[in-house]
Amino acid sequence: MLAYVFWHWPASGTPGPAYEAAMLRFHERLRSAESPALLGSRTYRVEGEPWLPDGRGYNDWYLLDGGFASLDVLNELAVSPSLKEAHDQPAHMVAGGAGGVYRLIAGVSGGQALGAATWLSKPANISYPAFYERLRPWTEWEDAALWQRQMVLSPAVEFCLQSPAPPNLPGDWRPLPVRWTVVGDEGGGGS
């Protein structure tokens, strides 16, 4: 499973409720298109991610099936004639954004609303298999998911651990706990 992650923030003077309502309408319309490539989507209000202006903004997670080819499907669908208006309304309110692609490495990702998200880096002196093994106590939590950045397509660090509660990770992994709040109660799947 892949996730396309899009970080964004509203233009100055854009009311937060209008921005969020436009985003939710787009996500609802996108999910209603019932593309087999799109497993779900969710928008989070974000605090504490240093690659966002003042550390605050939004991130959208689009869960995809079908490998990297599913990115093309999502891209075409998002701006298709049936979704153009729903896409363009929030797009015209965005001041800036950046995207990334993440692969699910361990755990599960579905419709759960997260309690915690932690960005982290693998220490240089440890192999990937050893790192995954050291993370196992947290990736085996119910509703936990470990995502790894692909092809350095993201402003964020290499790993994101989504979990029901904040994990107590070793300091040498440089964990960055952040606050994510689900926007709306769309229940349409997501990370």
pLDDT digits (tens, 9 = 90+) for 93-132: 999 999 999 999 998 876 556 678 999 999 999 999 999 9
Residue 17, phi then psi, degrees to nearest 5: -60, -40
Task: Determine the topology of domain 2-182 in CATH.
Answer: Alpha-Beta Plaits (3.30.70)
Weakly modelled stretches of the chain, pLDDT under 70: 110-114, 185-191
Span between the terminal Cα atoms of the chain, in Å = 11
54 vs 57: CA distance, rounded Å: 8
Q: How far apart are CA 45 and CA 121, in angstroms?
A: 23
Q: How far lies 64's CA from each of 3, 34, 50, 190, in Å? A: 6, 12, 26, 10
| CA distances, 173 to each of 100, 123, 132 (Å) | 21, 6, 12
Separation CA 19–CA 102 (nearest Å): 25
* pLDDT in the model for residue 63: 94
pTM, to two decimals: 0.91
- Phi and psi dihedrals of 30, rounded to 5? -60, -45
Domain boundaries, the chain: 2-182
- Which 8-state DSSP code applies to residue 171? G
Beta bridge partners of 38: 64
The pLDDT assigned to 115 comes to: 72
